[in-house]
Amino acid sequence: MWIVVFAASFIGGAYKIKVFFDLYWQFPVVMSLSVDQKLYLQFPAISVCNLNRKMREDDLRTGEATRSPLMYSELTSSQFCRQDQNGTKIRNKKNDEVLEFLMKYYEMDKETRFQTGIDPAKFIIKCSFAGRTCSPRQLTYFDSFRYGNCITFNKKLHGVETLHVMSVGIGSGLFMKIGIISSRYLDTTHTRGIKVVIHEPNAIPSPEEEGFILSPGYETLISLKQTVVRRLPYPYKDECIDYEDQGKDSLKSRNNCIRSCIQKQNFEQCGCIDKSLGVMTDLKQCNVTDDTDACCLDRVLDYMSSSGPACNCPLSCKSVYYNGEISRALIKIQKYKPFYPKGIIPGAPGISPEEVAKLRMPRWEDKKFVRREFLRLNIFYSSLERQVYEQQPKFEESELFSYMGNEFGLWLGISLMTFFEVLEKLTSFVKYIIFIVPSPRNWWH
């Protein structure tokens, strides 16, 4: 009877331990939240792009290009290839003109794209941080296939310290006065304004997928609160990685990792790549005005979104988010003061009122001109508190032995010391059987 009770208790304890081990090997995590009151906070990087990527042909200039293009596919939004219920290809002809322009634009080298785009130094009219004029070392350029030339404030660079703030509110952060130069916009640009991305100083901005659009004629206030999320690497669920430690340029961010994954499938299935993705651009470019290439790229995206293969691009082990509250108001217009070219005097003999009106040049005081061309941007912290979300293992390794001891104590009534004592006696008994008890075939001798 004792043996039966012992065996049943042992099986029950072993089962409970197995259940716990199955849970442990799933590597569950718990999320802790802490609120840190900091004396100072690192100010984020602010990237600003004009919504117009290229100037009109009669307004081209010269200059030097810097940084590398970064883009998620713009061609998918053009709906260049679709199929009806019978599988017949349908071309959206009204987008052919746009696609032809995109093909020519993508074929340009980086320097040419910079020269044909709007000069960032010209559309940023004024820049100040905490009341002081921005240093040229704090402003860097990069180009985007969708938005052309962009500018980044407070990017982390070798030998340049990023900015920190010790106060909050308007005047403690970044102020910009921006002129969008809408008179240079292409006919294919249907929206006037800028794209603003707020990100970590060491992160690669992605204006194609992130940020928000601001319209001219307004002063916009963006008050920020910083949130930090720390995740655990493999074998925990998120399997996060540090993209900054990756050797390949295409893996410097999660967005670039996804783009590279899509490009590999494009080249494998179509023999060419979607250059608007901005990675692996040394490979052959697909001709999106051709039905075969266009529909092949479309099928690759449909296949990957429905059945795979999935891109192995996990989240970053550390992410910093800037949660902002946005408010805006119309820019106050000063009393109208007309401005005329030198030598033109209203009311002078030989100049009609109609000619004077045509010669009048737009100024900041011109209400329509201001509302069409200019905007103000204020970005600042509303609090120096920082919320930190951190993943922690739900079970430590030491808890395995504690749980085993609890289960054996509950089911068998033994402690760890008793367990090893029984184990020692069983070992001694086995040795006795093997080495001391004589073999039966030797009993006759």
* Per-residue pLDDT reduced to its tens digit, 297-328: 888 888 887 776 578 888 899 999 999 899 99
Is the pLDDT assigned to residue 66 strictly greater than 50?
no
Model confidence pLDDT, tens digit, residues 107-127:
787 888 888 888 877 889 999
How many whole angstroms separate alpha carbon 122 and alpha carbon 118? 8
Residue 67 confidence (pLDDT): 31
Q: How confident is the model at residue 72 (pLDDT cuts 50, 70, 90)?
A: very low
Closest residue by Cα to residue 51 from 123, 114, 100:
123
First to last CA, the chain: 39
**% of the chain beyond a pLDDT of 90:** 27
Q: For 289-298, give one letter per residue: b (16+ CB within 10 A) or e.
A: eeeebbbbbb
Q: Which residues pair with 361 in a beta bridge?
A: 339
Four-CA torsion 378, 380, 382, 387, nearest 10 degrees: 140
Report the pLDDT averaged over residues 265-281.
86
If one counts every other C-beta atom within 10 angstroms of the C-beta of residue 226, the result is: 21
Residue 19 confidence (pLDDT): 81
Q: Taking each helix axis as running N to C, give the angle between helix 291-306 and helix 254-270, from 0 to 180 degrees, rounded to the nearest 10.
A: 130
For residue 370 the two structure tokens come to 């201001």
Whether 394 and 23 have beta carbons less than 8 Å apart is answered as no
If one counts every other C-beta atom within 10 angstroms of the C-beta of residue 24, the result is: 17
Task: Domain ranges for the chain, please list them.
Answer: 1-28+396-430, 37-328+377-392
Residue 415 confidence (pLDDT): 62
How many whole angstroms separate alpha carbon 210 and alpha carbon 285? 25
Model confidence pLDDT, tens digit, residues 344-355:
555 555 555 655
Is the pLDDT assigned to residue 269 strictly greater than 80?
yes
For residue 307 the two structure tokens come to 């059945």
- What's the chain look like in SS3? CHHHHHHHHHHHHHHHHHHHHHHHCCCCEEEEEEEEECCCEECCEEEEEECCCCCCHHHCCCCCCCCCCCCCCCHHHHCCCEECCCCCEECCHHHHHHHHHHHHHHHCCHHHHHHHCCCHHHHEEEEEECCEECCHHHEEEEEECCCEEEEEECCCECCECCCEECCCCCCCCEEEEEECCHHHCCCCCCCCCEEEEEECCCCCCCCCCCCEEECCCEEEEEEEEEEEEECCECCCCCCEECHHHCCCHHHCCHHHHHHHHHHHHHHHHHCCECHHHCCCCCCCECCCCCHHHHHHHHHHHHHHHHCCCCCCCCCECEEEEEEEEEEEEECCCCCCCCECCCCCCCCCCCCCHHHHHHHCECCCCCHHHHHHHEEEEEEEEEEEEEEEEEEEECCCHHHHHHHHHHHHHHHCCCCHHHHHHHHHHHHHHHHHHHHHCCCHHHCCC
CATH topology of domain 1-28+396-430: Helix Hairpins (1.10.287)
Model confidence pLDDT, tens digit, residues 131-145:
999 998 899 998 888
Residue 229 confidence (pLDDT): 95
CATH of domain 37-328+377-392: 2.60.470.10
The chain-wide mean pLDDT, for the chain, equals 78
> What are the CA-CA distances from residue 429 to residues 2, 3, 363, 435, 436 (Å)?
19, 18, 103, 10, 10
Is the pLDDT assigned to residue 416 strictly greater than 70?
no
Phi-psi region of 347 (alpha: psi -120 to 50; beta: other; left: phi over 0): left
Across 56-65, 269-278, 338-347, which has the greatest mean pLDDT? 269-278
> What are the CA-CA distances from residue 330 to residues 112, 335, 379 (Å)?
37, 15, 17
